Amino acid sequence: MADSPSNFSAPMTGGQTFNLQGRPAKYTVLYFYPKDNTPGCTTESIAFRDHYPEFQALGAEIYGLSRDSMKSHDNFKGKLGLPFELISDPDELVCNQFGVMKMKNMYGKQVRGIERSTFVFDASGRLVKEWRGVKVNDHVNEVLEFLKSQP
């Protein structure tokens, strides 16, 4: 597994600041997604929303992260009724720490964007699992199965 930052902080919805260290949950699930209100990102966020009680039962808290503004995140969160917070990283500082910025083909053009990725941290902030180049279908179930397999 690649080295992940031992800590970072960034603004998130609810007027709060996310800090990786000192999270009260047994597990922190951090999913990076390209953009609010796009089909794949909406589908992925809804899947995390719909399975949120299962994550909570396993002691996991979920956070979504993209480069969108806080205003965009607030609207996206409200529109989908997301029960978890979204982290804003417009300067790509966190994205670069995690190495999720990639060149991608979009409609025949090369564009730089977030590679859909998910990271799971334990209560001490140690990275215990990562998925990169995530395909939306069934991904949330993969994350749940991983958490269920933990002692």
CA distances to 5, 15, 89 from 142, in Å: 23, 31, 25
Catalytic residue among 20, 29, 41, 127: 41
Contact call for residues 147 and 71 (beta carbons, < 8 A): no
Contact call for residues 129 and 119 (beta carbons, < 8 A): yes
Contact call for residues 11 and 70 (beta carbons, < 8 A): yes
CA distance 134 to 151: 25
**Active-site residue, 41 included:** yes
Q: What single-letter amino acid sits at 134? A: V
Strands (E), the chain: 9-12, 16-19, 27-32, 60-66, 85-88, 101-106, 109-114, 117-122, 127-132
- What residues are annotated to the active site? 41
